[in-house]
Amino acid sequence: MLQELLNDSLVKVREYEPGRWQVYFTWKNKRYFLYKNWDGTKLIEHSAQRLKVRIAYDMVNKKEEFNPGEYKHTHNQFDVLVKKWLDDSSCSSDYKNIRRLIVKNYFTPHFHKLDVGSISKSDIKKFCKSIENRSLKTQKNVRGELKGFLNWLLREDLILKAPSFPKLPKIPELPLRSYTKEESQKIFSCCNAPILIFLRWTGCRPNESRGLLKTDINWTANKIPITHALSMTNKLKSTKTGRLRVIDFIPVLEDCLKQAVQSSPKDCPYVFTKNGKRYSRKMLEQEWNATAILANEKFGTPILPLYCATKHSLGQQLLDDEDVDLTELQALFGHADIRSTMRYARYKNERIKQILFKHSQPPQTTQVTQDSHTEKASQHWRKWLGGKDSNLG
């Protein structure tokens, strides 16, 4: 049978260019072409003939298990290397999941089995063109991941040079959306979920509130150390910034925490639960959406995302209504960089206008002249002398 395959030339070898050889064959009505050995070296006449015999032998012996793809050089294929890049990534599990989605939804459909060494500037330009229908922020994130992968290839000496990217328009920074103090009062009057009340008054991130443990609460000192959060895969991890911050009790917080702990099953380590289960991301979003829709129907308040309704709203309200310093807000929110906190003060044009107007007004106090100073001094002097005279008399 093997000799028949070789004689019938079902597996063929040819020199398609001087010194460059090719093995090609048909399997299940599909034509395959091989130009390199499994290790990436170019085929020469001797290695091409040996590969021909090996393929013919496997066709006879493996039959239905015969896989033409195993003879292809895959060392520098995009889909193979991008998988290795993902496996070697040292980022958090949450971020790695996001990276996998970007690879699956954007990279693989476009580059697939392309040799990474052949990726050119025009290939990058075509890729960027293919994602132009996405938001500028998404385009920036996807481009950033592709640049990271290409730089990894460069460090691994798998490519000689990383191709350049076309310039992306500057992403406009949108103002933070938030509720006013009055709107928050109306909305949370429709809320009975302790976890939402906790988020409103602490500025915690949703994942930090989901990951709060009963053992974290110091009932004696009335403090709550925020040390960890729940990941996308519902595993405990460190907070976003990795920094420890402590939240002091206020009466409304103490009440909601007691209510949450009492309703939580005894064998459950988490503070906030619903129907005996700890909150998942989806459950928390559903809880908030129900509250926001109810308040919208009752008071006509806008429906904002959970993060805007709690953390962003608290930050804006503290800066608007109270004399809170940015460094104090940074400590409360656990921002590693003050620039993150400055976003809350960046759009306070109305407040700045009021402050400027106040400072531009002339002083309301009576103007003090030299004569008035003299008259005031004389009065004090006469009073003092009168006292002396009376004592002497």
Can you read off the two tokens belonging to residue 89? 């990534």
Instruction: Give pLDDT tens digits for 126-157.
Output: 999 999 999 888 999 999 999 999 999 888 77
| CA pair distance 37, 74, nearest whole angstrom | 10
Instruction: Give pLDDT tens digits for 84-97.
Output: 899 888 887 778 88
**Degrees, nearest 5: CA angle 132-137-141:** 90
Q: Using CB atoms within 10 Å of the CB of residue 283, give its burial: 0 to 12 exposed, 13 to 18 middle, 19+ buried.
A: middle
In this prediction, residue 321 carries a pLDDT of 66
Can you read off the two tokens belonging to residue 182? 């009055």
In this prediction, residue 236 carries a pLDDT of 80
| Residues of the chain where predicted confidence (pLDDT) is lower than 70 | 1-9, 38-40, 73-75, 321-323, 346-393
DSSP state of 334: T
H helix intervals, the chain? 2-8, 45-62, 78-88, 93-102, 108-111, 121-130, 136-155, 181-188, 194-202, 206-210, 251-263, 281-299, 306-307, 313-321, 326-333, 338-342, 349-360, 370-392
Q: Using CB atoms within 10 Å of the CB of residue 18, give its burial: 0 to 12 exposed, 13 to 18 middle, 19+ buried.
A: exposed
In this prediction, residue 151 carries a pLDDT of 93
In this prediction, residue 188 carries a pLDDT of 92
In this prediction, residue 70 carries a pLDDT of 74
Can you read off the two tokens belonging to residue 206? 């949703």
**Contact in structure between 239 and 209 (CB atoms under 8 Å):** no
Beta bridge pairs of residue 26? 31
Count of residues for the chain? 393
Q: Which of 148, 70, 73, 163 minimizes the C-alpha distance to 103?
A: 148
3-class SS of residue 35: coil
- Rounded to whole angstroms, the maximal C-alpha distance in the chain is 146
In this prediction, residue 1 carries a pLDDT of 55
Domains defined along the chain, listed by start = 2-71 (no CATH), 78-155 (1.10.150.130), 181-342 (1.10.443.10)
3-class SS of residue 2: helix
In this prediction, residue 383 carries a pLDDT of 47
Looking at residue 331, its amino acid is A
In this prediction, residue 38 carries a pLDDT of 61
| CA pair distance 204, 207, nearest whole angstrom | 8
DSSP state of 336: S
Q: 252: number of CA atoms within 13 Å, CB side?
A: 13
In this prediction, residue 6 carries a pLDDT of 55
In this prediction, residue 338 carries a pLDDT of 78
